[in-house]
């Protein structure tokens, strides 16, 4: 069995296990390559169907290409799309040029909290990977969040022989991470193998492309001539540039990212 097939099988097992164990599960879809690959895996796990709602946290600052891609494939794949915005966010907290921590908390973390409370979700599929950021390397496949959405990264259960933490109390929920063991290059090789569509921001224009996409105000392209999936895969075999180097660096620091995630950030 090759690596991609092994990764796919493991992810589908986790997806199905979570669907069986929890009553009200949803997928968080950023429309980036990782969450779109996870959406594809969920479709494979359930024979072409997506039996859970798909949440998109709309900050109002996303690239136009993201909105276009989201609407196109939500229709093509018959998704139960929930677009969640934090309409009550104080204006003082949503200036990404001044304070990205407060902006992310208000427009992403608080919007997610509102969605979970509104719809009563007890589990969420997320497409984070351990190799993406040092703080995410601390995660588990099944990761508990308490009633205040806090993540206790210091006290997490062992995950041995396919046994995961599935018992939760009222007001708690679990984050499910089926792609946790994947690498960036694995995702791109899987995209190639499966023919998964992705937002064209990932492909080079005028020798610039995005390695990671999100809010337009917080993302910058990197120098690259990779204008196809094959060229991206080839580039990843030699590059020394980190995947999230184009993200706003104040938000990407270990301290800020850990603080954000301990409060409920993705």
Going through the chain in order, the beta strands assigned E by DSSP cover 25-28, 54-57, 81-84, 123-125, 142-145, 173-176, 208-209, 222-223
Same domain, 102 and 135: yes
Whole-Å CA distances, 8 to 2, 38, 133, 252: 10, 10, 22, 29
Strand segments, DSSP code E, in 102-181 are 123-125, 142-145, 173-176
Same domain, 243 and 148: no
pLDDT per position as a tens digit, 67-82: 999 999 999 999 999 9
Instruction: Examine the domain organization and report whether 239 and 145 are in the same domain.
Output: no
- Tell whether 111 and 203 lie within a shared domain: no
The answer to whether residue 65 sits within a structural domain is yes
Would you state the pLDDT for residue 177? 95
Query: What is the structure's pLDDT at 242?
Result: 80
Query: What are φ and ψ of residue 123, in 5° steps?
Result: -155, 145
- Give yes or no: residues 28 and 52 share one domain: yes
Q: Round to whole Å and give the CA distance between 131 and 242.
A: 10
The count of structural domains within the chain is: 2
- pLDDT score recorded for residue 1: 56
DSSP at 80: -
Distances in Å between the Cα of 173 and the Cα atoms of 125, 176, 190 are: 11, 10, 29
Pairing status of strand 173-176 against strand 142-145 = antiparallel
In a domain? residue 223: yes
pLDDT of res. 249? 46
Q: What is the pLDDT of residue 258?
A: 55
> With a cut of 70, which residues of the chain have pLDDT below it?
1, 90-99, 133-134, 136, 147, 152-160, 165-168, 244-266
- Say whether both 203 and 109 belong to one domain: no
One domain for residues 48 and 142 = yes
pLDDT the model gives residue 119? 95
Burial of residue 8 (CB within 10 Å: 0-12, 13-18, 19+) is: buried
CA distance 223 to 30: 23
Give the residue from 5, 80, 2, 1 showing the smallest Cα distance to 41. Answer: 5
For residue 193, is it within any domain? no
Q: Kindly state whether residue 189 falls inside one of the protein's structural domains.
A: no
Domain of 46?
3-183+252-262
* 166 shares a domain with 71: yes
Shared domain for 86 and 99, answered yes or no, is yes
Residues 38 and 109 in one domain: yes
Q: Do 238 and 258 have their domain in common?
A: no
């Amino acid at each position: 069995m090759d690596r991609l097939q092994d990764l796919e099988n493991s992810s589908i097992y986790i997806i199905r296990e979570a669907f069986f164990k929890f009553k009200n599960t949803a997928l968080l879809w950023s429309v980036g390559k990782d969450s779109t690959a996870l959406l594809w895996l969920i479709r494979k796990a359930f024979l072409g169907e997506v039996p859970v709602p798909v949440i998109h946290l709309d900050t109002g600052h996303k690239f136009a290409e993201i909105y276009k891609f989201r609407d196109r494939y939500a229709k093509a794949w018959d998704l139960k799309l929930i677009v969640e915005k934090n309409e009550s966010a104080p204006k003082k907290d949503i200036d990404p040029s001044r304070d990205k921590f407060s902006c992310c908390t208000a427009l992403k973390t608080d919007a997610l909290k509102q969605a979970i409370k509104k719809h009563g979700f007890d589990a969420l599929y997320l497409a984070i990977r351990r190799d993406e950021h040092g703080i995410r390397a601390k995660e588990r496949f099944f990761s508990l969040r308490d009633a205040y959405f806090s993540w206790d990264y210091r006290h997490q259960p062992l995950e041995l022989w396919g046994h995961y933490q599935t018992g939760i109390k009222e007001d708690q929920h679990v984050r499910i991470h089926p792609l946790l063991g994947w690498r960036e290059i694995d995702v791109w090789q899987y995209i190639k193998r499966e023919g998964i569509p992705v937002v064209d921001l990932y492909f080079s224009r005028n020798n610039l492309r995005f390695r990671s996409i999100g809010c337009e105000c917080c993302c910058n392209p990197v120098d690259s001539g990779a204008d196809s999936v094959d060229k991206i895969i080839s580039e990843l075999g030699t590059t020394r540039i980190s995947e999230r180097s184009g993200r706003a660096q104040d938000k990407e620091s270990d301290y800020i990212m850990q603080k954000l995630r301990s409060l409920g950030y993705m």
